[in-house]
Amino acid sequence: MLPKRRRARVGSPGGAAASSAQSSALFPAVAIYLAEPRMGRSRRAFLTRLALSKGFRVLDTYSSEVTQVVMERTSPQEAACWQERMAATPPGRSHPVLLDISWFTESMAAGQPVPVEDRHRLEMAEPRKESSGPTWVPAYACQRCTPLVHHNTSLTEALETLAEAAGFEGSEGRLLSFSRASSVLKALPGPVTAPRQLQGLPHFGEHSRRVVQELMEHGVCEEVERVRCSERYRTMKLFTQIFGVGVKTASRWYQEGLRTLDELRAQPQRLTRQQRAGERMKGGLAFLSPGYVKGLDDHMWADRGLATAGLQYHLDLSTPVGRPDAEALRQLIEAAVEQALPGATVTLAGGFRRGKLQGHDVDLLISHPVEGQEAGLLPSVMLGLESRGLVLYHQHHPSRLWDMSHLAQESHTMDAFERSLCILRLPQSPRAAVGGSPELRPPWKAVRVDLVVVPHSQFPFALLGWTGSQLFERELRRFSRKEKGLCLNSHGLFDPEQKTVFHVASEDDIFRLLGLAYLPPEQRNA
């Protein structure tokens, strides 16, 4: 449930401010109210300014004039409860439409109100009685649908904070315990409102249960708040947000007394070239879970080139990449790939394939329908991009596909595909603001991009692995091993006993071979 807040003021439809806003709006029939719970005042003020600059009408108070209420990280049940509390709609008039923030962001990108689709709506399809009893949930994340927007955001955020803190301390077991408990809550059909609903849920230990119960009873959990306010957690979170910095390096810096980015800048000898560039961009590895980041300092991310890049483009990398920019990058890479090898394909993977509107990097899979044609393609693509001045940084990792017997034994997240870890320059054209004058913004932005070259025969496995989420993939591989006795990774599905390899044409075939119902990417947000 949403935390209790003071009821918003009900404004007068005939007020001078409302009249002025309506007369200057490009879309007077649309009156937006940005609901503050979960959005926060500063973000609400920013979004209001953004909408007004594009000619939208935004009301500061909730009134009968409102046609669209926009909410962020809010379930349909929570939205309905909020609307009942407001009670500003006169008899005989319909309630305003309750919309997810995705409608707002898409409208801002389009420069006009986009049509309201079912995926934007927060209204419940039909009223139903909330169950106060336990719900049966499959044990593995790959057996259950997990949508991007779910009903228990405040609970899962608390558990994920504890999971992240455990990762910072190197406790893989606690990290997984909290992550799995959070994943279960995301898959529930409705909000958890009573402790009895936790009975029988898989992966829900006493610790997780105690955290959720405290949140339901008091609205906050003392342990979670203590972690969020602790100096170590805040410092580790800051440092691991630098491109190329993993938990091991961040922990060493903390132990050496470093606490701020300014202190790091004052000691450049501590940074690899990757980290110095990522500090200018902030992001990269920070948005992977600590379980993934752990140990990477000693492997491919420890290159001194990548570290320099980390500080250099810190500001850009800390700004989320929107779906339009991700698609623009896909098209840019697709053009470069087509020029180097006609017929090759470029596929957008990662969180964007799971339905996310924003991310902190862009994962692109490159393949060709003729097996072997992809060999040598990536250097040509990078050369073409560099000739156009689009490459700010890249690190090439050659393919290790020559040893398939070794690949059959690998079950970890790092695969053997040829890849280039890049920071690319994405050109930006000035947007036309209200009145015709262009907005002031740089002509380009730095974006993290991973280019991965995949042989055609392994493409379904690579697409499955690079789509995520990380916990979904981990659970899928665990299910394959424990329930089916098979080894699954981004290269294939193997039977270690029979020493055989399964050949597939699509992701659907992989699910079928494992005896699982196919889950589309939008339902893999575990």
Residues annotated as catalytic (active site), given as ranges:
361, 363, 450
Which residue is associated with the tokens 């690949």?
A: 407
Residue ranges in 94-230 assigned as alpha helix (H): 101-110, 153-168, 172-187, 206-218, 222-229
Smallest Cα–Cα separation from 242: which of 181, 290, 312?
Answer: 312
Beta strands in 243-390 (DSSP E): 321-322, 345-348, 358-359, 362-367
Rounded distance, CA 108 to CA 357, Å? 13
Asked if residues 88 and 63 have their Cβ atoms less than 8 Å apart, the reply is yes
**Which residues are 502's β-sheet partners?**
493
**Residue (of 413, 420, 414) closest to 448 by Cα position:** 420
Angle at which helix 231-239 crosses helix 153-168, to 10 degrees, equals 80
Classify 432 as helix, strand or coil. Answer: strand
Q: What is the dihedral of CA 131, 133, 138, 142, to 10 degrees?
A: 40
Show Cβ contacts of residue 349 under 8 Å, excluding neighbours closer than 6 positions.
Answer: 363, 364, 365, 463, 466, 467
Longest dimension (CA), the chain: 78
Give CA–CA dist 46/131, Å, rounded: 38
Q: Taking a C-beta distance cutoff of 8 angstroms, is the pair 312, 330 a contact?
A: no
Are 162 and 143 in contact by the 8 Å Cβ rule? The answer is no
CB 250 within 8 A of CB 208: no
